[in-house]
Structure 1
Amino acid sequence: MIKFFSKPYRWAGVFSLLLVGMFTFVLLDAFVIQKSMVIVASKTGTETATAVEVEPVVTETSYADEHIEISIETLQEYDSTIYVADIQISDASYLKTAFANSTYGRNVKAKTSDIAAAQNAIFAINGDYYGFRDEGYVLRNGVVYRDSASENEALVIDKTGNFSIVSESEVRMTSLSENWQVLSFGPALVENGTITVDSSSEVGQAKESNPRTAIGQISAGHYLVIVSDGRTDESEGLSLLELAQEFQERGCTVAYNLDGGGSSTMVFNGEVINNPTDGRSIEEREVSDIVYFGY
């Protein structure tokens, strides 16, 4: 053994193997190895939601009962296919979130449609993919799961269903813990009816035009969700500015960008409405969480 290590290049080889092993472990730890931290009951937080007493009226693009009304339109703008859902609810408790496999943790993932099905969601979109990061506030259905701040702007949904935007670096989770939901991705697209992004705004190193998922509020109990296809010959995708313009033009006072790209998925009555893609194939990406409307 001593003779083997007497050659300097052999030490270099061993050191290189150690580096490769450490690098591989870091990648696996970040993207593959699941770390389940909390198993979440199927119903948490404020339980004021009332079941449907009258049979809902349902079509391929709409849903209506005494508490929830949803209508979805598909349009072509900016060389992209855009799906717009107009949603009205009678109580904030019908705006919910859910974790993949009902589990809060790192790299715990499932398709948006599968998470939605597990919750009997009427309408669902992908969330903020909290499980991809170690930082960023996580408050879901009134329960705090993570209080470590990121550099993101966070979307706060209070218990009356009203939206607001805060900077995590300036506001501690302790002051937000009485709210209904806190999502951490961003950026904010519209605040007080004013667009807050410009033509140079983007998420990290993302391309200028992408599949997008975002949510906005028009008034009390009245919301707008926009998902766009992208990265295909048929649909280029939206810039953040184009996305913000759509929300502003439709009357939103607050709008917020969620995880996009290959994660962007809209599900309605168990069917995937858009065409999720990573640019190579049309299929759903597994994500860590969803935002949904239902009982």
Structure 2
Amino acid sequence: MNGDYYGFRSNGVVIRNGTVYRDDPARDELALFEDGTMQSFDERQTSSSSLLEQGATNTFSFGPVLVKNGEVIDNFDHVEIDTNFGNRSIQRSNPRTGIGMIAPNHFLFIVVDGRMENYSRGMTLAEFAQLFKELGAAEAYNLDRGDSSTMYFMGRVVNNTLGKNRERGTSDILYIPE
């Protein structure tokens, strides 16, 4: 499924397979660790070298955090996307992509279609956070959304974002090998 769209941004902390590709802290981030855990953090307060020392293998810089320590984050009133989009809110119902962890090495990957009348309106951030909580996530994080929200499973795309019946090109994915 799609990841954080790091190729579209010039900031954020980007670690892939244990290598730091970008170290320009800007927002809440998600780290995946060698021990099968994930943790969200403010990348302005945690160094990339500290993350590597803790065993971080990959980071995703998008957000916001949806569930932390088993509790839904429910104050999304001031969450905005980057200024390159005019700094508009991402609160409304939209297609969504997210990752959650129930326990180490036990993850949820959720993609929600949206903005399509008579099919799917999408979800608000609060609804998306609640869904992860209801499915047992102790941690959950919002990834790139909108046209990019795509899940590929068992050899095919399993959703239909915006009714286009095709994938949008993305600069980043989460991939679980067979």
TM-score normalised by the chain length of structure 2: 0.89
Partner in structure 2 of residue 271 of structure 1: 156
CA contact (8 A) 2:77 2:91 kept: no
Deviation at 1:252, TM superposition (A): 0.7
Map residues 21-100 of structure 1 onto 2, 5 A cutoff: none
Q: 1:198 to 1:168 in 2, by over 3 A?
A: same
Deviation at 1:191, TM superposition (A): 0.3
The two structures, once aligned, show a CA RMSD in angstroms of 1.6
Q: Using the alignment, how far apart are the partners of 2:76 and 2:47 within structure 1? A: 30
Match for residue 101 of structure 2 among 199, 203, 217: 217
Which SS does the other structure have where 1:288 is aligned? coil
Which SS does the other structure have where 2:49 is aligned? helix
Deviation at 1:200, TM superposition (A): 3.0
CA contact (8 A) 1:202 1:208 kept: no
**Structure 1 segments unaligned to the other structure (5+ residues):** 1-124
Partner in structure 1 of residue 52 of structure 2: 177
**Structure 2 segments unaligned to the other structure (5+ residues):** 82-87
Moved beyond 6 Å, runs of 4+: none
Q: 1:153 to 1:192 in 2, by over 3 A?
A: same
Q: Which deviations, in whole Å up to 9, do the C-alpha atoms of 1:145-196 show, x marking residues without a partner?
A: 111111x111011111101111011112121124111110000000000011
Match for residue 283 of structure 1 among 157, 163, 166: 166
Q: Which deviations, in whole Å up to 9, do the C-alpha atoms of 1:41-97 show, x marking residues without a partner?
A: xxxxxxxxxxxxxxxxxxxxxxxxxxxxxxxxxxxxxxxxxxxxxxxxxxxxxxxxx
Match for residue 146 of structure 1 among 12, 15, 22: 22
Q: 1:256 to 1:169 in 2, by over 3 A?
A: same
Q: How many residues align?
A: 168
CA contact (8 A) 1:211 1:237 kept: yes
Q: Using the alignment, how far apart are the partners of 1:270 and 1:217 within structure 2? A: 24
Match for residue 252 of structure 1 among 127, 137, 142: 137
CA contact (8 A) 1:202 1:240 kept: no
Higher helix share: 1
CA contact (8 A) 1:187 1:203 kept: no
Q: 1:218 to 1:201 in 2, by over 3 A?
A: farther
CA contact (8 A) 1:153 1:167 kept: yes
Partner in structure 2 of residue 231 of structure 1: 115
Q: Using the alignment, how far apart are the partners of 2:68 and 2:78 within structure 1? A: 15
